[in-house]
Structure 1
Amino acid sequence: MKKTLMVAALTGVFATAAHAQSSVTLYGLIDAGITYTNNQNGHSNWKATSGAVNGSRWGLRGSEDLGGGLKAIFTLENGFNIMNGTNGQGGREFGRQAYVGLSSTQFGAVTLGRQYDSVVDFLGPLALTGTQYGGTQFAHPFDNDNLTNTFRVDNSVKYTSANYAGLKFGAMYGFSNQAGGFANNRAYSAGVSYNYGPLNVAGAYFQTNNSAPLNAAGAAIAGGAVTADQAPFSAGRQRIFGGGLNYAFGPATVGFVFTQTMLDSGVGLTNVGSQGLGNLALGNSVRFQNYEVNGRYNLTPALSLAANYTFTDARIEGVKPKFHQVDLQTAYALSKRTDVYLQGEYQHVTNTDGTNIGATINGVGISSTSNQVSATVGVRHRF
């Protein structure tokens, strides 16, 4: 009898242990290169760069099986500069992502923490900026639509649906965390995508109120959803919406993405947006309309080519700047985890009178003229 009870007890223990399986994965990506820019604030420049395509990062991703298709999940992801070893995203330990939540195979996932918004989640994969095929330097001017992930949303709660025969959708809300200021520096977004064979379509919306706001003394208000040390713009309200599609033809994929960004009520470029030139006032009303046509082709399993053209039609207090940017990249995989790449960007901007804005390729600085050329040779390693 005692043996029977012992066997039953041990069986229950092992069954519980097997039922509650958990895993933690260490992962990362390191992107290092040498970048030439013909005009950076009036001078040419050769510089060592980290994250010219994809931001260097390491992270921990984990899950625990709770049974019945339910899991506890978390991600902690650090961004860093490989050239000097410092943390990115304003010096945050886990500045790229930091969240915990529950995931269901039937209903989707709810997560809480520092997270990507719906524009990044749903539209980002359809553009070349923000992906391995172009990334940081292919961003639309000032990364005005956040497709390359210049900022994340703090204090956020996010829902992401399961995949229902190719249909996915989601929404996110970022709290201001301010007593008496519920709507001050909050953010919210929603998105949807549908995949049917070679076709992928998506749409998304994002809004933040008083993003990177300033108090009466002119200092940035801390603790909100989007803070001044990461946002390219300061505005009373920022709205982003857009849609896009990709279509695959064997080894080739072509795509189109449209986004519109509207800013009002006291608009300025932050030090992040001006890439080190300091805060620049832009007036009370700014709009960017971005039209991106892109394509990529795998010549061989190891060799890829990617290119895009982006036209940005802007409105800045009655001035109508127009940005034209052409981007090219080729990458060669030395293994499944390591590749070398060469990419270049050219931007030309017109109608900038009165704005003090020159051509601006993301990640390399602002030109003192209406033209800018940049080229990078680099290596990426994933682990």
Structure 2
Amino acid sequence: MSYPSWQEIRQGSIANTYSFMNPWYVPMIAEDMPTFMARPHATTENDLEGADVVIIGAPYVAGWGGYMGVDAKEWLAAPKRIRQQSIRYGSGYIQEFDLDVFDHLKIVDYGDADIPPECLVEPTAANVLRAQAAVELKVNHAMAAGAVPVVIGQNSPCGSFAIAKAVSERTKGNVGCVSLDTHWDIAPLDKLTMDPRIAGSDAWKFKTYELLHNFDQKHLVEIGERGMLENKEMVREFLRKGTHFYPMWKIRSGLGIEGLVNELHHAYEGTDAVYCHWDMDILGGAGPAPGDILGELAEPFGMTDYEVIRLAHEVGKRGIAALSFICIPPGSAAIYRVLVYVIMYMCAGLAMRKAGLSAPA
């Protein structure tokens, strides 16, 4: 089944009798791209005033024409398609919590970072840095307004290091990190450009801890890696420096989601801000779509959609400086809806924190 057109999605939402959305008008960023959850479209820095959460797209793929066996166009479509799927949901009311997120939070959509088109087809070091700077600019605008930036990206550094760097520069004290991933991304050098300035797909986390002075591995909660994918010396070095590592084997063989939630404190204790990064290849084949849609990124026994959504909600309740996504499985409407849930349930956590509420028993 191919991904539906915008007209098909829109008509389906209008026909959905359970939708409370006004079917005749949704704020639009482009002809086929509505705003996330039909929230106001912020086009200038002034439009961010009073915002609690700012949605930012970072459609960027690191490669010459494709990534991990999947066409670049499929990866690049993620920010648009997540916005498209979000209009299924006519309100911010989350029934499990008896909570309307929009009663407590002002959420705006700041559109996509202005990544120059040539950066998507000519991944030279100079172009990668230009693309990264475009994302940093919008993230800094959001943080200057006192909001939490939520960056929907696809590849590093635009969906990872760019956000970590902005958080680092705006935080006086230490920065904690909660990271979900199938891969550690701790190679010392970006293999695409071979340039030490580039925090690329397989190196962004190494570069974060090498270049950002207030990131320390003792405040890193690393979740989800598994299997025979990593260099042992690299992993052992991060563990030696204090990383709190929760592989899928440990989660599945006794820790469970409740135990994992209780381990999040390692990112919060002794820090002034926490950056959260969800690499969505963590789903593997455990989500609502087969792992094969990830191409070469597919690996066995990934996280479930519930676990990914639950962790987002839990960090929201504790408070975060920023949330970013990369490697969103391409082409599946159901997976894009998972991302809508991840963002909204994180926002529900922020709303509960802001309002001093707790989830119903």
1 or 2, which has the higher strand percentage?
1
State the TM bucket, normalised to the shorter chain.
Answer: under 0.3
1 or 2, which has the higher helix percentage?
2
TM-score where L is the length of structure 1: 0.26
